[in-house]
Amino acid sequence: MEYGLKVKGLIDGVSDELRGERILGIRDNEIAFVARPGEVSGEMPILDAGNLIAMPGLIDCHVHIRTNGETDRRLQPLTDLPGESTLRAVNNAQADLRSGYTTLRDCGGMEALAVRNSASRGETLVPRILAAGDGISATAGHMDQDRYVGARVLSNPGVADSPDEVRRVARNLLKLGVDLIKTNATGGTFGNGHRPNPGAQQSTEDELRAAVEVARMAGKRVASHAMGEAGIRAAVNAGVDSIEHGFWLTEDVAHQMAEQGTFFVPTMATLYRNTTRGFDGPGMTEEWKEHLRQRAIRVRARLFESLRFAIDAGVKIVAGSDMGGGPFLYHGECATELSQLVEAGLTEMEAIKAATSLAAELVDRDDVLGRLQEGYWADVILVDGDPSKDISVLQDGKSVRGVILGGAAVSLSRELLQAEGVVESIWGRVPWVAD
């Protein structure tokens, strides 16, 4: 398979400027060259994408594909038929792919491992997936799923209450083939119910350090759900690779993160959706829903402060939307995170890098993903509009007119399908047509 894409402009994932008209040469699953139109010779078929802009396929470093914003998602393990959650995960991942996300880092759920393995065998068309499997959690902690009295039918393979138990759980996860280890240093912003201390620490520094030690021996990274100040500090001291959420990050810990090279995945879309779409769930009163929404407004303001600490300290900020991780967080809307990063202080290009080259660095694929450069994998999206000037064009996915995964088109607009230069090797693998 060999063809060229002629585009009005190109965002390469590392430069600070939009490049002008280019032809992107694709050979098999890689980018063969990036050149100006006058520099290309030969008989390679070229698809003229008109006024569209090419950019690297986007990377979301924090999703949960087994759920899709359901208000009763914690009950699903008790009610799903066998295989139901995995089929849901496939559908959710495909929604992200159609919206321009060619790589997902799943931060909790065994289903992601099954979907990843199926895709590697060519059975399922989904984004590239890096899966953490079950997150390691303290008993009654953030990812302890066995929380319903009288329904003690769930196993808790990720629960660990000492450094030695953490080592055992981490090694079992590695045996299953996880791509990273996910720890839970704290509770959540809303999962503590009426308790006055949201984001309270739940794992000790020694427990977190045990997970890091095991992961390092296997050459894997460690992500840590850490919201409150004490838990963030413990996770950073333990040497985790990324702080997920970090709602109550402090200025001094931000500087420590910069010095250690710890990434920050602020998942800003969660609180934005909490404030705009609100809350719902079994047994929730209207009064309690409004209480949670008001809490989300306050915590969102604090997260903006946390992001400013990280920016000023020089922390590497990476985009992760947490889609599927809460009520009304729907797959296909991952780029909401990019708009929120810009609103909170990043430039458009910085937000794009957070979802391309910097994200590729966090997932240890920066030699093949996140850039439109020769020798990189040909994960490309074609956008109607200029994200370098207005990041919101990516937000709902409707401006993404083409998605190419590993050199093969998986979604194209009707106009592109009918364009001169579209050959069988390009469109023969397109399962979706963008309206």
Average pLDDT rounded to a whole number, residues 357-377: 98
What are phi and psi for residue 260, nearest 5 degrees?
-85, -10
CB 273 within 8 A of CB 262: no
Using DSSP's 3-state secondary structure scheme, residue 405 falls into strand
Using DSSP's 3-state secondary structure scheme, residue 292 falls into helix
User: Between 105 and 152, where is the model more confident?
Assistant: 105
Q: Distance between CA 171 and CA 432 in Å, rounded?
A: 39
| pLDDT number for residue 424 | 67
Residue showing tokens 């439109």: 372
For CATH 2.30.40.10, the residue range(s) in the chain are 2-56+371-434
What are phi and psi for residue 4, nearest 5 degrees?
-120, 150
Q: How confident is the model at residue 154 (pLDDT cuts 50, 70, 90)?
A: low
Task: Report how far Cα 5 is from the mean position of its chain's Cα atoms.
Answer: 27
Q: For the chain, give the mean pLDDT.
A: 92
Q: Is pLDDT of 78 > 60?
A: yes
Average pLDDT rounded to a whole number, residues 344-364: 98
Q: Is pLDDT of 353 > 80?
A: yes
Q: How confident is the model at residue 191 (pLDDT cuts 50, 70, 90)?
A: low
By percentage, how much of the chain surpasses pLDDT 70? 93
How many CB atoms neighbour CB 302 within 10 A? 14
pLDDT tens for each residue of 5-44: 999 999 999 999 999 999 999 999 999 999 999 888 778 8
Specify the range with the lowest mean pLDDT, choosing from 16-30, 333-347, 407-421.
407-421
Q: How confident is the model at residue 194 (pLDDT cuts 50, 70, 90)?
A: very low
Q: Is pLDDT of 362 > 90?
A: yes
pLDDT tens for each residue of 227-274: 999 999 999 999 999 999 999 999 999 999 999 999 999 999 999 999
CATH number among 2.30.40.10, 2.60.120.260, 3.40.630.10, 3.40.50.1000, domain 2-56+371-434:
2.30.40.10
Q: Distance between CA 108 and CA 102 in Å, rounded?
A: 19
| pLDDT number for residue 324 | 95
Q: Distance between CA 308 and CA 114 in Å, rounded?
A: 38
pLDDT tens for each residue of 213-227: 999 999 999 999 999
Average pLDDT rounded to a whole number, residues 71-75: 76
CB 64 within 8 A of CB 107: yes
Q: Distance between CA 138 and CA 211 in Å, rounded?
A: 13
Q: Distance between CA 135 and CA 187 in Å, rounded?
A: 13
| pLDDT number for residue 193 | 43
Q: Distance between CA 25 and CA 386 in Å, rounded?
A: 21
Report in angstroms the alpha-carbon separations of 177 from 4, 172, 212, 323: 36, 9, 16, 23
Q: How confident is the model at residue 139 (pLDDT cuts 50, 70, 90)?
A: confident
User: Between 374 and 195, where is the model more confident?
Assistant: 374
For CATH 3.20.20.140, the residue range(s) in the chain are 58-362
DSSP for 212-235, written as a single string: HHHHHHTT-EEEEEE-SHHHHHHH
Specify the range with the lowest mean pLDDT, choosing from 140-154, 193-207, 275-289, 418-432.
140-154
The CB-side HSE value for 16 (13 A sphere, CA atoms) comes to 2
Q: Cα dihedral angle (416, 417, 422, 428), rounded to 10 degrees?
A: 140
Q: Is pLDDT of 195 > 90?
A: no
CB 350 within 8 A of CB 304: no
Report in angstroms the alpha-carbon separations of 288 from 190, 247, 342: 11, 22, 31
CATH number for region 58-362: 3.20.20.140
Specify the range with the lowest mean pLDDT, choosing from 275-284, 396-405, 414-423.
414-423
Return the CA Rg of the chain.
21
- Give the pairing type, strands 22-27 and 2-7: antiparallel
Q: How confident is the model at residue 428 (pLDDT cuts 50, 70, 90)?
A: low
| pLDDT number for residue 393 | 96
| pLDDT number for residue 145 | 64
